[in-house]
Amino acid sequence: MKRMIEKLGRRVLPGGEVRPVFHARVMLIVVLSMSLACGMNVVDGRKITPEMFKFKMIVRADSDGGGWRAVCIKARITNGNTQATGLCAFEVGTPLRMKTGTEVSLGFAQKVAAELANTAAVTVLRSLPPETMIGPACLAFRAEYHLLLRQAIDGSKVGECGRDAPVVLFDPMAKQ
């Protein structure tokens, strides 16, 4: 298979078809070879890692269970086609102990949160039309991420950032 050529936010696919590139600066994502399938955007960017989820305990667990940890992620999203860019802010929260009594370790919460953020980003951003604006792309990502995270860790949520959660900026374009 011929190599792809990327220019100014567009990718020329084998056969000459031009596709916009969403630099998924939302949490994100390694280019997958299967992103060449017809009808899909190419999602490009850096994959988020568990270490990026710097959760803070907001509510301690007690004998009845519960407890809560959260982090506010502010992730840069750039549309590679239009170069429009913006921050997608969302809080990721998980219980310390689920209703079943199962404890959710910090390491497990970080690992699952990272894996599912990457999955949600690829799923959503690949399916959006190239003209999609940053705000609606962020909302679609947050909704998908929330569904995936709740399935994996009962009681978890993805929503608006609260004032108690620490803020982590995810901006792959920033100079390290």
pLDDT in tens, the chain (176 residues): 233 333 334 444 455 554 444 433 333 332 222 222 334 455 555 678 899 999 999 999 877 778 999 999 999 888 777 888 899 999 999 999 988 888 999 999 999 999 999 999 989 988 888 888 889 999 999 999 999 999 999 999 999 999 899 999 987 666 54
Domain span at residue 44 reads 5-170
Give a yes or no: residue 12 inside a domain. Answer: yes
Give a yes or no: residue 176 inside a domain. Answer: no
Number of domains in the chain: 1
Give a yes or no: residue 62 inside a domain. Answer: yes
Give a yes or no: residue 153 inside a domain. Answer: yes
Pairing of strands 85-97, 56-59: unpaired
Give a yes or no: residue 94 inside a domain. Answer: yes
Give a yes or no: residue 175 inside a domain. Answer: no
